[in-house]
Structures are given as C-alpha cells and as structure tokens.
C-alpha cells in the first residue's frame, strides 16, 4: 500500500465561505452536543460522533508508537505514512513547540463527509456516527482530502492492495474498522483505540464529550496529573 495523495489546490471561495459559516456556528454552540445533528447541503443530517481523541502535546514523548499502532491495526504493517494520527517533532526545537500531535477531529460538521460525491464518507450509525470511509463506494477521487481544512490533512488517499491497488481514502475511524484489531470486541467508540492503548505515557485519551470545535484547545488538552509532576514535569 502506497500513499497517493492528490494535489491539494487550496480552498475555493465557496468552500471558504462554507467553513467560515461552520466555524461561526460552532462558536455559538460550545459544550456537550451528543446526538445533535447538522444539516448537509442536500438537507440530510450528519449526526455528531459518539467519540473523539484528545491529546496532550506537552506529555507526548515522541515515540510515535501511536502512529505505528494505527497503521498496524488498520493495514497490518507499520508505517508513519499510513497513520491517521501524526506526531510532528523538531529535535532542535524548544519545548513545548518542539512537538505537536495532529489527529482526526471527527468534526461536528465534517467537511470531508460533505465533500464526498459518492456518499462513501459517512457518519456511520453502526459505529457511533464515527466519520468512516466505505471503501466499496470510495473512488479515491481525493475530494475529502481537498476538503479537510487542517494541516496536515487528516485523510490520505492510497493505493489499496485489497482493492486491486485502486486508490482509496483512509481516515481515523477510532479503530471501528480495523482488520488487524487485537481485541475481540474491536474498536470504535465502544471499543479500544490502538493509539490510546499503546501510548506509554497516556498522552492520548478517548472522550465521548464533543470538544470545542473552534481552535485547538478542545482537542489539545491537559492530561497531566500529580504523578507526572513527580517526574519533574509541569502540570500546567
């Protein structure tokens, strides 16, 4: 499986306005919003996800175990390029700006879902409305990749060996559809997420609470406790 990402052409004016509207809406609706739905352009509803990943970028030790576990349970191989969560670090940088973690936000209003022309990317009701790709439907067109407003883009389009090397989109599904999941009960909001489980320092957590959508603070949180402070690190 090889990453094969289409050119990202930047946001069109129409798309930009759409996101601007999304952000304004979200700012006015902070807090816990489980089961609330958002309207798609065609009038259908997108339910909010039952689960989210939040991270502590000051606690992360940069071992990239989460990235490797992600590709392992999904693709059966180990590769930072195939990971749905990305650790970015600068060995020469100054703490805490030397490292960040970028994970899929399971957005309340998911641009990737809205952009998919094939309805291959949906809030999957079977798995707690996690935003998931149906590879049977996905044509690998890259619309979702282009629509994701974050850096780095949280989706990838890759050649998929299980589909005769056709291009398919991949994204975080909270391990709901992970063919190599180690646990009999599997993943998803009601199961175990590989990145959360494998992290040695507890820098990634699962929550059912919808994070604040605007900015980074809802997803980049403080997971440090007194024991972390005992090791010589700061709590806040």
Partner 1 sequence: MNGYAGNILSIHLGTRSITTIPTKKYEQWVGGHGMGSALFFDMVKDKTIDGFNPENVITLMSSPLCGTLVPSGAARTEIQGIGVQSLPIGWFTRSNFGGRFSAMLKYAGWDGIAIQGQADSRVWIDIRNHEVRIRECRELDLWGTDTWECQKIIWKDVAGDGAYGDWVKVNKKGDMTTQRPAVLAIGPAGENLSRMACLIHDAGNGAGQGGFGAVFGKKGLKAISVIGTGSVKVNDPKALMKSRLWLKDQYQFDLKNLKFNTFVMGFQSPPVPMALYRYGKPRIGQRPQACVGCTAGCRGRYEDGIGNEAICFTSVFYYLGKTLLIQRQAADLINRYGLNAAEMFVGELYLKRLQARGIIGKGKEIDCPLAYEQYGELSFAEQLVKAISFRNDGKGNPHPFGDILAEGFVRAAEKWGRLEGENSDLKTGLLQFPHWGLPRHKLERSQLDWGYGTILGDRDINEHCFDMLRAFPTYYKQSGKPLPPSQDVVQIITDKMEPFQGDMKMLDFSTENMYSEHMIKLVSWHRYYTRFWKQSVQLCDFRWPDFLNLYGPGQAGATGIAEQRFFNDVTGKNFSFLDGINLGKKIWNLDNAIWALQGRHRDMVRFADYIYTRPGTTPSGYPEYMPGIKNGKWDYVITSGRHFNPDRFEDFKTRFYRFQGWDENTGCPTRKTLESMGLDNVADALETNERI
- Contacts with partner 1, residue ranges (CB under 8 A): 1-5, 58-65, 68-69, 71-73, 75-82, 86, 88, 90-96, 98-100, 102, 151-153, 156, 180-182, 194, 197-198, 200-202, 225, 227-228, 230-234
Sequence-separated (6 or more) residues with CB below 8 Å from residue 199: 65, 66
- The answer to whether 135 and 176 have CB atoms below 8 angstroms apart is no
List the one residue out of 224, 172, 187, 225 whose CA is nearest residue 203.
224
Task: Please state the closest distance from residue 153 (CB atom) to partner 1, in A.
Answer: 7
- The answer to whether 84 and 104 have CB atoms below 8 angstroms apart is yes
- For 185-198, give one letter per residue: b (16+ CB within 10 A) or e: ebbbbebbbbbbbb
- The answer to whether 193 and 53 have CB atoms below 8 angstroms apart is yes
Q: Which is nearer to partner 1, 137 or 234 (CB)?
A: 234
- Count of beta carbons in the 10 Å neighbourhood of residue 33: 16
Task: Please state the closest distance from residue 169 (CB atom) to partner 1, in A.
Answer: 14
Q: Which is nearer to partner 1, 109 or 167 (CB)?
A: 167
DSSP element (H, E) containing 93: none
List the one residue out of 201, 203, 230, 200 whose CA is nearest residue 219.
203
Q: Which is nearer to partner 1, 33 or 201 (CB)?
A: 201
Task: Please state the closest distance from residue 102 (CB atom) to partner 1, in A.
Answer: 7
Q: Which is nearer to partner 1, 31 or 232 (CB)?
A: 232
Task: Please state the closest distance from residue 211 (CB atom) to partner 1, in A.
Answer: 20
Task: Please state the closest distance from residue 216 (CB atom) to partner 1, in A.
Answer: 12
Task: Please state the closest distance from residue 135 (CB atom) to partner 1, in A.
Answer: 18
Q: Which is nearer to partner 1, 41 or 97 (CB)?
A: 97
């Amino acid at each position: 499986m090889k990453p094969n990402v289409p050119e990202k052409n930047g946001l069109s004016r129409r798309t930009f306005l759409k996101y601007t509207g999304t952000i304004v809406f979200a700012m006015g609706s902070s807090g816990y919003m489980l089961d609330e739905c958002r309207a798609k352009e065609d009038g259908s509803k997108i339910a909010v996800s039952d689960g989210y990943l939040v991270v502590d970028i000051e606690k992360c030790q940069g071992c990239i175990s989460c990235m490797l576990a992600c590709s392992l349970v999904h693709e059966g191989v180990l590769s930072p390029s195939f990971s749905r969560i990305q650790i970015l670090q600068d060995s020469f940088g100054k703490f805490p700006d030397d490292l960040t973690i970028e994970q899929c936000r399971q957005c309340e209003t998911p641009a990737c879902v809205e952009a998919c022309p094939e309805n291959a990317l949906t809030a999957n009701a079977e798995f707690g409305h996690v935003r998931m790709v149906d590879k049977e439907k996905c044509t690998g067109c890259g619309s979702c990749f282009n629509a994701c407003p974050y850096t780095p883009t949280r989706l990838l389009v890759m050649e998929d060996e299980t589909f005769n090397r056709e291009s398919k989109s991949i994204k975080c599904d909270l391990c709901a559809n992970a063919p190599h999941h180690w646990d009999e009960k599997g993943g998803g909001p009601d199961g175990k997420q590989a990145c959360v489980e494998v992290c040695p320092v507890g820098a990634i957590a699962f929550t059912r609470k919808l994070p604040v959508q605007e900015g980074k603070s809802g997803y980049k949180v403080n997971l440090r406790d007194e024991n972390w402070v005992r090791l010589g690190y700061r709590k806040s």
